[in-house]
């Protein structure tokens, strides 16, 4: 019987599938690090107090990218080129989610609306990241090779999600509530489609590497489509709700944890 744990174990146990998994993860984290670094540099004067938290967010993402690189190196593997159809962050940008890279490469300060767009995009994508890492944490927290990395990254993603909730609630209380909800809904509806497409592409590549039989591939694809159907019918709402987090000032009160893999 297929299980999420069994599929992950197959991917982790094979060098080529592990190589692709870590390469995709490292690329996405590095992209997130760059984006946050540029946003911190361009944040408007009225929101300069946010800059250190955005910088911390980017530093965590860069750290995660290095961790995935270290996991590859530990097994004597090198990164592979990430297939474009599996590049989650790039595809989100192409679909208009978040701030355009052309804007981030310039020198013009961002607007408050740009900051809201960044925070709404992050709230949606960090929800996904937090859930994915909690799933890995459930199965591999004590894994001899990846357990420490999974625990650290999962904790960081929970911090990022808490930070997004707190800052968006602050902006909502300042009168931006309608704009925030509109942007969150747009981001969530696009993200669930991109996540479905990327998941199908990743499973297709993994299936070829691991030589999964057609029946297994069809079952996994059906599962991905079922998740999308659930999210389209209402599961997306978990990505747009806002609540005061238990972790307060999650990116402002302490230094980043030292990295290890």
**Domains observed in the chain:** 4-239 (1.20.1260.10)
Asked if residue 151 has pLDDT above 60, the reply is yes
pTM for this predicted structure:
0.94
Asked if residue 257 has pLDDT above 80, the reply is no
- Confidence at residue 66, expressed as pLDDT on a 0 to 100 scale: 97
Query: For 205-220, how does the pLDDT look when each residue is reduced to its tens digit (9 = 90+)?
Result: 999 999 999 999 999 9
DSSP 3-69: -HHHHHHHHHHSHHHHHHHHHHHHHHHHHHHHHHHHHHHH--GGGGGGHHHHHHHHHHHHHHHHHHH
Query: For 159-210, how does the pLDDT look when each residue is reduced to its tens digit (9 = 90+)?
Result: 999 999 999 999 999 999 999 999 999 999 999 999 999 999 999 999 999 9
Asked if residue 2 has pLDDT above 90, the reply is no
Any alpha helices (H) in the chain, and if so which ranges?
4-13, 15-42, 51-74, 88-94, 101-104, 112-140, 147-171, 177-210, 214-233
Query: For 71-98, how does the pLDDT look when each residue is reduced to its tens digit (9 = 90+)?
Result: 999 999 999 999 999 999 999 999 999 9
- Confidence at residue 117, expressed as pLDDT on a 0 to 100 scale: 97
Asked if residue 261 has pLDDT above 80, the reply is no
Rounded to an integer, the average pLDDT of 37-48 is 96
């Amino acid at each position: 019987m297929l299980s999420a744990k069994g599929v992950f174990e197959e991917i982790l146990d094979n060098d080529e599938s592990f190589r692709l998994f870590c390469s995709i993860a490292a690329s996405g984290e590095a992209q997130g690090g760059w984006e946050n670094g540029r946003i911190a540099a361009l944040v408007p004067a009225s929101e300069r107090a946010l800059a250190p938290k955005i910088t911390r967010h980017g530093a965590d993402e860069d750290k995660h990218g290095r961790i995935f690189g270290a996991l590859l190196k530990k097994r004597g593997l090198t990164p592979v080129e990430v297939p474009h159809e599996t590049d989650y962050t790039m595809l989100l940008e192409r679909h208009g989610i978040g701030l355009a890279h052309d804007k981030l490469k310039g020198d013009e300060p961002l607007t408050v609306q740009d900051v809201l767009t960044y925070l709404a995009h992050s709230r949606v994508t960090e929800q996904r990241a937090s859930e994915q890492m909690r799933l890995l944490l459930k199965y591999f927290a004590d894994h001899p090779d990846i357990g420490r990395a999974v625990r650290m990254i999962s904790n960081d993603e929970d911090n990022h999600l808490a930070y997004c909730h707190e800052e968006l609630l602050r902006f909502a209380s300042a009168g931006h509530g309608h704009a925030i909800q509109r942007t969150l809904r747009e981001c969530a509806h696009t993200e669930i489609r991109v996540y479905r497409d990327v998941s199908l592409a990743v499973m297709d590549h993994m299936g070829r590497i691991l030589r999964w039989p057609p029946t297994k591939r069809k079952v996994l694809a059906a599962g991905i489509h079922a998740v999308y159907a659930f999210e389209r019918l209402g599961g997306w709402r978990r990505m747009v709700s806002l609540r005061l987090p238990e972790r307060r000032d999650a990116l402002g009160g302490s230094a980043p944890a030292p990295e290890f893999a």
